[in-house]
Amino acid sequence: MQFEKMQAAGNDYIYVNLFEEQVNDPEILSRRISDRHFGVGSDGLVLIGPDTEGDFSMKMYNADGSEGAMCGNAARCVGKYLYERGLTTKKEISLNTKSGIKYLSLTVNPQSNEVESVRVNMGKAIFSASDSLRSQVTLPEMVNYPLRVNGQEYHITFVSMGNPHAVIFMDGIDNLEIEKIGPQIEHHPLFPERTNVEFIEVTDRTHLKMRVWERGSGETLACGSGACASLVAGVITGRCEPKASVQLKGGTLEVEWEKDNNQVFLTGDAHFVFRGEIF
């Protein structure tokens, strides 16, 4: 099977073109191929294929084999892949994901014909935890919601971008033992389908610093939907402007929330790492 590895802000996935390849067991393949010692090494697997509703489809699987609903960084990589590998000449692409149609806008260098950046319309921010997660807990909204874990209280603001995010604002995130607290919040009974967890340090009203514990993958260098959720959470708690830069371990993303029509946009670059063949 032919594949390509791509990364956006250090969020790396293995990309397979279903126009040329066939994948029968993506959950098993994702676990195998994502292993950084016995596989290729990635945060998961992304399948690029045809679609009847959008121009193309994107299915993504986490490193543990679970299917993810959406990944903004992966969507940007898909946009670059589609254009530079000749699957489309469009610079405006509709991409069908598990969380619905997402719209990509490509910025292409006229000299090299390479995609320099991709802007993704991530859709609406959702604030009802019970609606998004089908939780048995009746919580119409979770804003600065106190959650006690290991004797320490964390204040969570919940935002879904088609996938769930528990956003926590705090200082000193560089020293945070994320591998201890991340999985406990991810698997907390409040979130029956698990949740992504973002730890945010506010630099100023237009700059946020972020570490992320991704549902099904652990700590990653970046999470596009998490950056979007974090900006929205910052706005509704009065911590930042509706347009800001989010600095992650793997790079910086630009996020904008158009509050009037509740549309969130994510902008950043994407890169090919290498191509290969797995047997």
What the block records as the tokens of 58 is 């994107």
In whole angstroms, what is the distance from residue 197 CA to residue 184 CA?
10
Nearest 10 degrees: CA dihedral of 112, 113, 115, 117?
70
User: Secondary structure of 36-64 in the HEC alphabet?
Assistant: CCCCCCCCEEEEEECCCCCCEEEEEEECC
Radius of gyration, alpha carbons of the chain? 18
In whole angstroms, what is the distance from residue 219 CA to residue 210 CA?
11
SS3 232: helix
Please count the CA atoms within 13 angstroms of the CA of 28 that sit on its side-chain side.
3
Q: What is the DSSP string of 6-47?
A: EEETTEEEEEEETTT---S-HHHHHHHHH-TTTSS--SEEEE
* 250 DSSP β-pair partners: none
Total Cβ atoms within 10 A of residue 20: 9
The number of residues in the chain equals: 279
In which element (H, E) is residue 133 found?
helix 129-133
Smallest CA-to-CA distance from 255 within 213, 277, 222, 215 is with 222
Catalytic residues: 71, 223
Smallest CA-to-CA distance from 182 within 154, 201, 145 is with 154
